[in-house]
Chains A and B, each alone.
Chain A
Amino acid sequence: MQTEPTQSKNILLLREFVSYLRTLHIDTLEQKWIAIAMMIIAFLVGIITVDALFHGINPPSKVETIDSASVHLSKEFAEDNLGVQRDNSGKIIVRMVALRYSFIPKHLEVPAETPITFRWVSTDVLHGVNIPMTNMSTMIVPGYVAEVTTTFPKPGEYPLLCNEYCGLGHNHMWSTIAVIAKEEWVAKTTATPPALTK
């Protein structure tokens, strides 16, 4: 019932605001600068928004909870499941557990130029992880699964470092990841299954 008078009151207020805005003394040079500043901001915001909405370039943001106190009992993060695995659709998934003061497993091997989905959980406090020179980075918050998908363009041996303060032994928390050429990885992984042995 009250909506209509409030609405017209708001419109009146808005009109008043705009008319005040017109009486403001803003130097023409300053007006130009404000226009330029707004264009710079619009340009930067535009790039980010288009990338996010149309190219799917977003930070790791999958809101998924897990009980950190019983990660070892969970099916997904049971010890046998950790490390590099292929799911049914052929996607490469890396499951890692972060705990004071190491990442499990200690060493990984993944192919270059292939999308890889990392799933991280913490069993205790906050951790973070990044692989220098790549965009693999995420916080690992206890109670949540951190998921990030990325592709490593260049083969090489990379460190995988804890980058969030997690206690006095924080700087001892790291693993290594070997990114190997795609063909080499295919040869390695297809060689093992018994079906392919002659």
Chain B
Amino acid sequence: MNDTAERKLILCHLWVAFAAFIVACFMGEYQVLERSGLLPALESPTVYFASVSTHGVLMAFVLTTFFIMGFGYALASSSLKQPIWNKPLAWGAFWLALVGVVLAAVPLLLGKASVLYTFYPPMVGHAAFYLGATLLVIGSWIWCAIMLVMFTQWKTANPTKNVPLAMFATAANALLWLWASAGVALEVLFQLIPLSLGWIDTIDPGLARTLFAWTLHPIVYFWLIPAYTAFYVFVPKQAGGFLFSDEMARMAFIVLAVFALPIGFHHLYMDPEQASGWKLLHGIGTFVVALPTLVTGFTVIASLEIAGRLRGGKGLFGWIGTLPWGNTMVLAVILSLLMLIFGGFGGIVNASYAMNAMVHNTAWVPGHFHLIFAGTTVIMYFAIAYYLWPLLLRKPLFSNQLALLQLWTWFIGMSILTTPWHVLGLLGQPRRISTVVYNNLLTLAWKPYELMMIFGGLILLGSACLLIYNLVKTQVTPYAGQFTDEIDYAEPIHKVGVLPEYLNGLTVWNKVIAVLMALSFGFPILQFFFMDTFGSSAWGN
């Protein structure tokens, strides 16, 4: 964020992210409408599944990856107070990833890759879809390398200082993503691309699912860590207080990065290709990773309480009212935490091993991840955008009032969308159906909830448009004044002494991850090469 060139790099990343986001929002609303059967003219499984696949790719891969890259550059350059390392390489990564997105978008929009963003072999889409996704991931790997180089260079230059918390979190996320993406990379490079190009005739879907499960859990922490980073490094200051504990924040990021990785089998609980012992082991690990989230909840709420009391709040709950609710970052964190409480509860249900049978692949699951990702996580992306836009453009935000309205409507819309979605799951509705044609009385009970979802989706769509309007207006409105604001990091309430290496570096943790991954994925992957498996040939959609 130190000069115009850097600000442009960051802004370009964030604009790609939000452009993908707004397109995907329109698709989301179309999908709830199509699925409800309210407008028979809309009904088309071809369009519906092309839309679902594109919506998933845009939200889960494009919005997240570009946002995380741009935000990472902003945090690294501002917290380390040094220029972004190798800017031409960073631009190269940007263009590579963007070309990848365009390459994947063509077959997606033409309905030639309606295999959903989770791939699902032996169904196979057009090869361009997988090649595009690969380029996007390679772009993100270059970003990881740049982050880790900047982290290491700064540490070497400042041996007696602690790495700033914002950079520590970003580097931990880069390490997490390098490990996380290895699973899907193996699946795409050795199974999906060769199969889609006809180089091989069959693949083992059991192995493919195991490799995808490797990625599927930590990827959600890759998306979540930027939100948690904002919780720790921006929120306390924006609320007018201090960070409750810098060390606990580091511990939380470490446990997130380490334990998010070896636990992916909770996505395979209902699968026949892995044995119950491994599933139980991963299930227990899944509960362990709830710990850093519980700690984060405590630290963030404690930081807010400090701020509320400094602002004159009295009594057990009096500090809540004195918080600056008109500050977008503070409002967003409150709404985000509210959604985290309910989403986290749902997550515990999903994680509960055999109990998963009751909700697996029902509408409960998309209800859950919309609440926790599109709710908890993405609302923080908005708050970060509102915070960074003025700093990147060197002019104030077009409208703070509109931004507050946008955050509230996003929260309300998400509650109205996801509550009936969860209920539908409990009423047995499967996910990923384009219309309800089951000739059964049970489906009558689904109707009112589907209608509620359309309403929730409409509010969300309006809210998303409001976000884009505000960001565009900020960019195009001329500003004559002198803009002097700089990025402002929260200070810990207790001064932090010199930290030991394990709280200031990632080398040790990288080794711990390697051991845990070998233990939890070694045998489950190798088994496919030792038992008699039968390949599946490719199927279109």
Please list the residues of chain A having a beta carbon within 8 angstroms of any beta carbon in chain B. 17, 20, 23-27, 29-30, 33-34, 37-38, 40-41, 44-45, 48-49, 51-52, 57-69, 124-126, 128, 130, 132-133, 135-147, 159, 161-172, 174, 176
B358 touches A126 (CB 8 A): no
A138 touches B295 (CB 8 A): no
Kindly state the separation between the CA atoms of A170 and B302 in the bound complex, as whole angstroms. Answer: 48
Kindly state the separation between the CA atoms of A161 and B361 in the bound complex, as whole angstroms. Answer: 11
A126 touches B353 (CB 8 A): no
Contacts A144-B273, A171-B435 given; 12 further ones with Cβ under 8 A?
A: A61-B279, A63-B275, A63-B531, A67-B534, A124-B536, A125-B539, A126-B122, A137-B358, A139-B272, A143-B204, A143-B273, A174-B438
The number of residue pairs between A and B whose CB atoms lie closer than 8 Å in the complex comes to 218
A33 touches B298 (CB 8 A): yes
Kindly state the separation between the CA atoms of A147 and B503 in the bound complex, as whole angstroms. Answer: 46
B247 touches A26 (CB 8 A): yes
Given contacts A143-B206, A161-B430, A49 and B280 within 8 Å (CB-CB): yes
Contact with A along B107-142 (1 / 0, CB 8 A): 000000010100011110000000000000000000
Closest to B207 in A: A143
Given contacts A26-B248, A63-B273, A65-B532, A159 and B438 within 8 Å (CB-CB): yes
A159 touches B294 (CB 8 A): no
B248 touches A17 (CB 8 A): no
Provide a sorted-by-A list of 7 A–B residue pairs whose CB atoms are within 8 angstroms. A30-B302, A57-B353, A59-B353, A59-B354, A61-B275, A64-B272, A143-B533
Contacts of A136 in B (CB 8 A): 357
A143 touches B205 (CB 8 A): yes
Closest Cβ of chain B to A133, distance in Å, is: 6
B272 CB contact (under 8 Å) in A23, A130, A138 = A138
Closest to B495 in A: A25
B205 touches A65 (CB 8 A): no
The 7 A-B pairs with the shortest beta carbon distances in the complex, nearest first, are A132-B428, A163-B430, A171-B433, A61-B276, A163-B361, A37-B294, A67-B534
Contact with A along B518-536 (1 / 0, CB 8 A): 0000000001000111111
Closest Cβ of chain A to B179, distance in Å, is: 22
Given contacts A161-B438, A165-B49, A68 and B534 within 8 Å (CB-CB): yes
Kindly state the separation between the CA atoms of A171 and B354 in the bound complex, as whole angstroms. Answer: 26
Contacts of A38 in B (CB 8 A): 291
Kindly state the separation between the CA atoms of A69 and B535 in the bound complex, as whole angstroms. Answer: 9
A27 touches B274 (CB 8 A): no
Closest to A34 in B: B295
Contacts of A159 in B (CB 8 A): 428, 438, 440, 442
Kindly state the separation between the CA atoms of A77 and B481 in the bound complex, as whole angstroms. Answer: 77
A44 touches B272 (CB 8 A): no
Given contacts A61-B275, A130-B362, A25 and B298 within 8 Å (CB-CB): no
Kindly state the separation between the CA atoms of A171 and B120 in the bound complex, as whole angstroms. Answer: 17
A141 CB contact (under 8 Å) in B116, B206, B275 = B206
Asked if B234 is at the interface of the complex by the 8 Å CB criterion, the answer is no
Contacts of B452 in A (CB 8 A): none
Counting contact residues on chain B (CB < 8 A from A), the size range is 35 or more
Kindly state the separation between the CA atoms of A25 and B354 in the bound complex, as whole angstroms. Answer: 39
Given contacts A64-B272, A126-B120, A41 and B500 within 8 Å (CB-CB): no
Given contacts A145-B272, A171-B45, A48 and B502 within 8 Å (CB-CB): no
B534 touches A44 (CB 8 A): no
Name the residue in B116, B270, B354, B435 with the highest tally of chain A Cβ atoms < 10 Å from its Cβ: B270
Contact segment of B185-193, B281-289, B375-383: B281-289
Given contacts A132-B428, A161-B438, A45 and B287 within 8 Å (CB-CB): yes
Closest Cβ of chain B to A51, distance in Å, is: 7
Closest to A137 in B: B357
Kindly state the separation between the CA atoms of A93 and B25 in the bound complex, as whole angstroms. Answer: 46
Given contacts A130-B362, A170-B432, A30 and B205 within 8 Å (CB-CB): no
B123 touches A126 (CB 8 A): yes
Closest Cβ of chain A to B521, distance in Å, is: 16
Closest Cβ of chain B to A61, distance in Å, is: 4
B434 touches A137 (CB 8 A): no
Closest Cβ of chain A to B451, distance in Å, is: 18
A41 CB contact (under 8 Å) in B45, B274, B290, B496 = B290
Closest Cβ of chain B to A100, distance in Å, is: 8
Kindly state the separation between the CA atoms of A145 and B531 in the bound complex, as whole angstroms. Answer: 14
A128 touches B247 (CB 8 A): no
A59 CB contact (under 8 Å) in B291, B356, B429, B527 = B356
Contacts of B244 in A (CB 8 A): 27, 30
Given contacts A133-B428, A168-B46, A171-B435, A59 and B269 within 8 Å (CB-CB): yes
Kindly state the separation between the CA atoms of A71 and B536 in the bound complex, as whole angstroms. Answer: 12
Closest Cβ of chain B to A47, distance in Å, is: 8
Contacts of B121 in A (CB 8 A): 126
A143 touches B534 (CB 8 A): yes
A163 touches B362 (CB 8 A): yes
Contacts of A20 in B (CB 8 A): 500, 502-503
Asked if B60 is at the interface of the complex by the 8 Å CB criterion, the answer is no
Kindly state the separation between the CA atoms of A189 and B234 in the bound complex, as whole angstroms. Answer: 70
Name the residue in B120, B276, B527 with the highest tally of chain A Cβ atoms < 10 Å from its Cβ: B276
Closest Cβ of chain B to A147, distance in Å, is: 7
Closest to B35 in A: A171
Closest to A52 in B: B280
B428 touches A61 (CB 8 A): no
Name the residue in B116, B244, B248, B429 with the highest tally of chain A Cβ atoms < 10 Å from its Cβ: B248
Contacts of B287 in A (CB 8 A): 41, 44-45
A60 touches B272 (CB 8 A): yes
Asked if B155 is at the interface of the complex by the 8 Å CB criterion, the answer is no
Contacts of B494 in A (CB 8 A): 25
